[in-house]
Amino acid sequence: MSFEHKGRSLNKVAVIGSGQIGPDIALYFTKVLAPFGVQTVVVDVSEEALTKGRAKLEKKIAKGVETGAFKEAQQTQMLAAVDFTSDYEQVRGADFVLEAATEDRDLKRRIFAQIEDLVSSDAILASNSSHLEPEAIFEEAKHPERAAVIHYFFPAERNLIVEVVPGMATSPQVADWLMSFYEQIGKVPLAVNSRYGYALDPIFEGLFQACALIAESGLATSKQIDAVAQSALGMTVGSFTAMNLTGGNPITCVGLDNYTSKINKWFATPQSLKDRVASGEAWEVPARGEKVEVAPELREKLTRMLRGAYFGLCGEIIDAGLISVGDFNLGLQMALDMKPAFSFMNELGVKESLALVEEYAASQSHFPLPKCIKDQAASGQDFVIPNILRRDQGDVAVLTIRRPRVLNALDQSVFDELEDLFAAVEADPKIQAAVLTGFGKKAFVSGADVGFLAKIENQEQGEATAAGSQRVLNIIEDMSKPVICAMNGLAFGGGNELAMACTQRIAKKGLRVLAAQPEPNLGIIPGAGGSQRLPRIIGLEAAAELLRTGKPISSARALELGLISEEVEGDVVDRAIEIARNIAGGVVERPSILREPMTGLPESLPHTDIGHLSRKVDEIMCKAILAGAAMDLRSGIVHEAKCFGEVCATEDMRIGVQNFLQNGPRSKAEFKHQ
């Protein structure tokens, strides 16, 4: 067995370094790769580090079993697939080597010189550096074209973000493979151009510098600054607390001084940080649950200073061309666990945000005043932060919905982007077909944002909400160019409705859970055409059961019913591109959905055991299904919107939505059937 991806096979991976982060990286590798028979080897010259690293890994896996994250059989498999050794010879034959040693350029170079003699010339080499440019690390490498930096974030086994930083010599094929590989194993890779510190650490460390300078000035204590930072920037913990948790003082001390010459002269290591490194003392920070007193005037002043520093630092990264705004926003939110800067500036107003940066810059020598923020403020428009990525593969446009924090769930902004992107695809003479997919391996689209349902106050609003979603899906269905849905993972609710609006659907093979219309659990019915398209695709009886019970089906069952046309063993997007070209080129006939009224309809739907679900909602669901099936498709979809509005006037809709928001999707609502 091996892990096969995009023309490469992984049989063995090696992690060099069993210090703070190496065992966590190895833990993630063994979790995702052990089921494929891939061996993970952790190498370190220190037996003490190996012993501690193994103990750390075993403890975390055992904790995972306790919490239900891992099953005991999975624990056994993971532990059997990872080795800790001081023998570099065990690296021989590895297909992928990730160095996670101390942040020392010469040490890293020596490690890779040794590694290159043990692996094949096409094995991928990566460094988990936090600052060093790949050019500096791999300058003496025999094959720098297969090497890059992969920057993990604390804690590496749980923080999904990785910065993928190719060097000048890295081949585009290797860079693309790394991005795809990390997405496939469940991480969220961000493409970052090479510069010392990359995209995210200058924010983490630069914001810390801003906080340290405030503390050194005597304006506020480290405790007060951390407390204000949490509310001012949406941070889970403040900068001083984060530094204590990550043990980042020594690395940051070096990094900030190097930023002085490599980024700009504002950066410099504060004296207080140098003192802490020398003494080994932790920063004084708020205890868990401690309420820190900050006078209102001081809180306002600190808030303005911290936001000005944060926005200015982030704008400099964009001005430097290191990363896209969308990727950067995602990284700030997921890696650094704080309000993403560019959507935050949109929320506050870009002009007001610029004023905060100008105010902070006026008090700081050499602090950047980013052109991107000035230009955006002058335009009077918000920053554009895409949820859907478009990349053209020749004559096929591939659209990827990317909202990993919510498993690609739909909200109004996604519907708006879908409308704009498909209009652009339709008008583009170079494009003959499109593929629609989701980011990652868990979900195509996990459903629609439930939050907006809670805002629906009456029947009219409910009907209008459904009609708005339907309009966008009708546009996709009416495209003159074929649209193939590559279902990379589960499609629930609005996700399945979106898939059904496409010309054809294919799915990754072996998914135990692929599709469901779980709306009855929330006390609602589908509102984006699901009650009309599903019967026309898989037949009335099978569709009615799925729609009324909300039960999910596997990819195998979806194929059997005809919801999808194919289960794909390899890359589902590559196969979708092939199908799209075949349809566009007339090689195969274009599938079409029945648009006329369905025939041979029964007077009523057969009895279905709906368990605890609302009988009132089920009554409206049956009306939507059966009466809609007797109409042409477009009229049926309009009928569904009216039924959706009717459901929004029920008490059970309120009960179902509130139960979901308060207790989660697994909690059964106590419906009153009215």
Same domain assignment for residues 263 and 155: no
315 lies in a domain?
yes
Q: Of 138, 157, 191, which residue sits at a domain end?
A: 191
Query: Residue 358 maps to which CATH number?
Result: 1.10.1040.50
Same domain assignment for residues 112 and 158: yes
- pLDDT tens-place string over residues 389-421: 999 999 999 999 999 999 999 999 999 999 999
Strands (DSSP E) found in 30-76: 39-43
Q: Are 306 and 206 in contact (CB under 8 A)?
A: no
671 lies in a domain?
no
- pLDDT tens-place string over residues 461-499: 999 999 999 999 999 999 999 999 999 999 999 999 999
Between CA 643 and CA 568 the distance in angstroms is 36
Between CA 209 and CA 161 the distance in angstroms is 23
DSSP track, 90-156: GGTT-SEEEE---S-HHHHHHHHHHHHTTS-TTSEEEE--SS--HHHHSTT-S-GGGEEEEEE-SST
Q: Are 612 and 519 in contact (CB under 8 A)?
A: no
668 lies in a domain?
no
In this predicted structure, what is the pLDDT of residue 640?
Answer: 98
Minimal CA–CA distance to 651: which of 478, 559, 523? 523
Q: Give residue 55's domain range.
A: 3-191
The label of the residue with tokens 């591109």 reads 577
In this predicted structure, what is the pLDDT of residue 496?
Answer: 98
Same domain assignment for residues 370 and 498: no
Same domain assignment for residues 232 and 258: yes
Same domain assignment for residues 392 and 372: no
Domains of the chain: total: 3
In this predicted structure, what is the pLDDT of residue 237?
Answer: 93
In this predicted structure, what is the pLDDT of residue 1?
Answer: 77
In this predicted structure, what is the pLDDT of residue 451?
Answer: 80
pLDDT score of 438 more than 90? yes
Query: Residue 161 maps to which CATH number?
Result: 3.40.50.720
Work out the average pLDDT over 382-387: 96
Amino acid at 214: I
Same domain assignment for residues 548 and 612: yes
Buried b (16+ CB within 10 A) or exposed e, 129-166: bbbbbbbbbbeebebbbbbbbbbbbbebbebbbbbbbb
SS3 209: helix
Give percent above pLDDT 90 in the chain: 96
State the DSSP code for 405: G
Between CA 179 and CA 188 the distance in angstroms is 9
Between CA 308 and CA 310 the distance in angstroms is 6
- pLDDT tens-place string over residues 148-186: 999 999 999 999 999 999 999 999 999 999 999 999 999
Amino acid at 293: E
216 lies in a domain?
yes
Q: Are 468 and 419 in contact (CB under 8 A)?
A: no
Contacts of 475 (CB under 8 A, 6+ apart): 419, 422, 423
Between CA 134 and CA 196 the distance in angstroms is 9
Query: Residue 657 maps to which CATH number?
Result: 3.90.226.10
Strand partners, 162: 152, 189
Would strands 483-487 and 515-516 be described as parallel, antiparallel, or unpaired? Answer: unpaired
Buried b (16+ CB within 10 A) or exposed e, 289-325: eeebebeeeebebbbebbbbbbbbbbbbbbbbebbbb
- pLDDT tens-place string over residues 5-17: 999 999 999 999 9
Same domain assignment for residues 615 and 547: yes
- Output the six-digit token pair for 6: 């995009």
pTM score: 0.93
Same domain assignment for residues 164 and 58: yes
Same domain assignment for residues 615 and 655: yes
Same domain assignment for residues 430 and 374: no
- pLDDT tens-place string over residues 312-332: 999 999 999 999 999 999 999
Q: Are 494 and 447 in contact (CB under 8 A)?
A: yes
Contacts of 296 (CB under 8 A, 6+ apart): none
User: Chain-wide mean pLDDT for the chain?
Assistant: 96
Between CA 399 and CA 396 the distance in angstroms is 10
- Hey, which residues are catalytic here? 497, 519
Q: Of 338, 356, 379, which residue sits at a domain end?
A: 379
- Output the six-digit token pair for 475: 């546009």
119-128, 452-461, 599-608: which range is least confident on average? 452-461
Between CA 73 and CA 561 the distance in angstroms is 33
Q: Of 324, 345, 379, which residue sits at a domain end?
A: 379
364 lies in a domain?
yes
Same domain assignment for residues 367 and 487: no
Same domain assignment for residues 274 and 412: no
- pLDDT tens-place string over residues 27-57: 999 999 999 999 999 999 999 999 999 999 9
196 lies in a domain?
no
455 lies in a domain?
yes
601 lies in a domain?
yes
Amino acid at 251: I
3-state SS, 429-495, equals CCCCEEEEEECCCCEEECCECCHHHHCCCCHHHHHHHHHHHHHHHHHHHCCCCCEEEEECCEEECHH
